[in-house]
C-alpha cells in the first residue's frame, strides 16, 4: 500500500466522523469554482481535495488559475457579479481582504475536530488561520545547495553569509521579505526577536548592514523555478529556495540538499469572496479540505507542511518511493526548532516603506 493509502487507512474513522455530515446533504449547486495557483500544485489539489470532495458531495469543482492578489476579487465585487466561490491566497492578502470587507468570515470552530476529538480551535498551528481565512498548507524558505558543486556543505544560516569559509555566489529572492529576516538571524538575533528588532530604525539598519556583507555575491531570483536552475548551472554555491520544489527535485534524482536552520515559513489560506454565488457549498468545501486526512494527503504529494497538529502523523510516503515525507515538510518539529513564521501583520504595516528602501539599496554600489 502506498503512503496515501496508508494515510487514508489510518484515519478512516476520523474521516467518517468529520465528513459524513456532508454525505446526502442537499446542495443547490452542482458546481463551485475554486481558484488556485495552477501547475503541479493545483494538480495535487485536484487529487487530494477536488476529486474526493466531488465524490463525497456530488458537487463538481471547476478549477481556475490566477496569479494572486486582490484585483480580480475587487473587480468582481465592484461589478456586482462575483463568480468565484473559494480562493487560495497568502495570509498577507487574506488579512488585507478581510480588513477591506472583500471576503467572508469563516468561524474556525465550525470546522471538524481532529480524529482524537481535539477541536479545530486547538488543532490548527498558531498563525495559520485568521478571522477570514483557513490555512491550507505551509511553505518553507530554506537554504539549498548542490552536493556535486560545493566543496564544503553548509549546515547553518550563518554559513550562507560566510563567503570566506563557504565561497561562491548566493541566490536570494528579490524581495526584502525573508532576506531581512535571514540577515538578522545570521547576525545573532533570535527568531522570537526578529520582528521586534526589525521594527526599530536601528534593527532595520542592522539587517541591511548584514546584507551588505554578501551584496556583491548575490544573484537575485524572482520565479520559484529559478533557484534550482541556478544550482544546476553552478551559478551559485547556495540559494534560498522553496522547500517543496526542492524536495520534489530530490525525488526526481537531483543532488540538491536543504538546510533547515533559520527556515522562514508562511501559510497558504482559503478565503471565500463576499457574495460568493454558492456560499453553502463553498463553506462545505473549506470544511472538507480542512480535515486532517485531506491535509496529510496534499502534504504527501507536495511535501508542503500541514497546518493541523493531527495531520502530521498521517503524512505518508512520497508516491512510488519509500521516502516518508513528513520530515521534509516545513512544520515537522525538527524543522521548526530555529524557524521563523512570517509576521504578516508586520509586513502589512511596513511593506511599502521597507520595499522602497530595499529598491534604493539595490541601486547602490
Are 304 and 162 in the same domain? Answer: no
Q: How confident is the model at residue 5 (pLDDT cuts 50, 70, 90)?
A: very low
Residue 316 counted as domain residue: yes
- Taking the C-alpha atoms of residue 258 and residue 106, their distance in angstroms, rounded to an integer, is 35
Range of the domain at 221: 140-265
Residue 343 counted as domain residue: no
- Number of structural domains in the chain: 2
Residue 350 counted as domain residue: no
Burial per residue of 29-47, b for 16 or more beta-carbon CB atoms within 10 angstroms, e otherwise: eeebbbbbbeeebbebbbb
Are 133 and 271 in the same domain? Answer: yes
CATH at 96 = 3.40.190.10
Residue 200 counted as domain residue: yes
End position of a domain, from candidates 265, 296, 321: 265
- Taking the C-alpha atoms of residue 277 and residue 344, their distance in angstroms, rounded to an integer, is 29
* SS3 assignment, position 154: coil
pTM to 2 decimal places: 0.89
Are 45 and 190 in the same domain? Answer: no
Are 35 and 107 in the same domain? Answer: yes
Are the CB atoms for 50 and 136 separated by under 8 Å?
A: no
How distant, in Å, are the alpha carbons of 79, 83, 219, 238, 288 from that of 64?
19, 11, 33, 35, 19
Vertex 230, ends 187 and 268: CA angle to 5°?
70
Grid cell locating 291: 480535515
End position of a domain, from candidates 244, 265, 286: 265
Are the CB atoms for 279 and 104 separated by under 8 Å?
A: yes
Are 248 and 298 in the same domain? Answer: no
Specify the pLDDT at position 25. 55
End position of a domain, from candidates 265, 290, 315: 265
pLDDT of residue 12 exceeding 80, the answer is no
Tens of pLDDT, residue by residue over 308-345, are 999 999 999 999 999 999 999 999 999 999 999 999 99
How distant, in Å, are the alpha carbons of 103, 267, 306 from that of 126?
21, 11, 12
- Residue for cell digits 495559520? 128
Are the CB atoms for 355 and 270 separated by under 8 Å?
A: no
Are 129 and 152 in the same domain? Answer: no
DSSP strand pairing (256-271 vs 238-242): unpaired
Are 9 and 126 in the same domain? Answer: yes
Tens of pLDDT, residue by residue over 77-125, are 999 999 999 999 999 999 999 999 999 999 999 999 999 999 999 999 9
pLDDT of residue 24 exceeding 60, the answer is no
Are 272 and 306 in the same domain? Answer: yes
Residue 354 counted as domain residue: no
Amino acid at each position: 500500500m502506498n503512503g496515501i493509502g496508508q494515510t487514508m487507512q489510518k484515519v478512516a474513522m476520523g474521516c467518517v466522523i468529520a465528513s459524513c455530515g456532508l454525505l446526502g446533504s442537499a446542495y443547490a449547486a452542482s458546481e463551485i469554482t475554486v481558484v488556485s495557483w495552477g501547475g503541479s500544485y493545483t494538480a495535487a489539489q485536484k487529487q487530494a481535495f477536488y476529486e474526493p470532495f466531488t465524490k463525497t458531495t456530488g458537487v463538481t469543482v471547476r478549477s481556475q488559475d490566477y496569479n494572486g492578489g486582490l484585483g480580480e476579487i475587487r473587480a468582481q465585487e465592484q461589478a456586482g457579479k462575483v463568480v468565484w466561490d473559494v480562493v487560495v491566497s497568502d495570509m498577507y492578502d487574506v488579512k488585507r481582504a478581510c480588513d477591506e470587507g472583500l471576503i467572508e468570515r469563516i468561524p474556525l470552530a465550525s470546522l471538524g475536530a481532529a480524529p482524537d476529538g481535539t477541536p479545530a480551535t486547538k488543532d490548527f498551528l498558531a498563525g495559520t488561520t485568521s478571522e477570514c481565512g483557513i490555512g491550507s498548507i505551509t511553505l518553507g524558505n530554506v537554504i539549498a545547495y548542490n552536493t556535486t558543486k560545493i566543496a564544503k556543505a553548509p549546515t547553518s544560516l550563518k554559513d550562507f553569509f560566510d563567503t570566506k569559509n563557504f565561497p561562491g555566489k548566493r541566490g536570494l529572492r528579490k524581495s526584502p521579505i525573508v532576506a531581512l529576516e535571514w540577515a538578522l538571524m545570521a547576525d545573532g538575533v533570535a527568531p522570537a526577536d526578529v520582528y521586534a528588532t526589525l521594527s526599530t530604525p536601528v534593527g532595520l539598519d542592522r539587517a541591511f548592514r548584514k546584507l551588505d556583507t554578501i551584496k556583491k555575491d548575490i544573484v537575485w531570483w524572482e520565479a520559484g523555478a529559478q533557484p534550482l536552475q541556478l544550482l544546476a548551472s553552478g551559478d551559485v554555491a547556495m540559494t534560498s529556495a522553496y522547500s517543496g520544489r526542492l524536495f520534489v527535485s530530490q525525488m526526481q534524482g537531483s543532488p540538491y540538499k536543504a538546510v533547515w536552520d533559520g527556515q522562514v515559513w508562511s501559510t497558504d489560506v482559503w478565503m471565500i469572496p463576499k457574495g460568493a454565488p454558492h456560499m453553502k457549498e463553498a463553506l462545505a468545501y473549506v470544511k472538507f479540505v480542512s480535515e486532517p486526512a485531506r491535509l496529510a494527503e496534499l502534504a504527501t504529494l507536495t511535501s508542503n507542511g500541514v497546518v493541523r497538529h493531527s495531520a502530521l502523523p498521517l503524512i505518508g510516503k512520497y508516491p512510488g518511493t519509500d521516502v516518508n515525507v513528513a520530515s521534509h515538510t516545513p512544520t515537522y518539529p525538527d524543522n521548526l526548532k530555529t524557524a521563523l513564521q512570517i509576521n504578516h501583520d508586520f509586513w502589512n504595516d511596513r511593506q511599502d516603506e521597507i520595499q522602497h528602501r530595499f529598491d534604493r539599496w539595490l541601486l547602490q554600489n
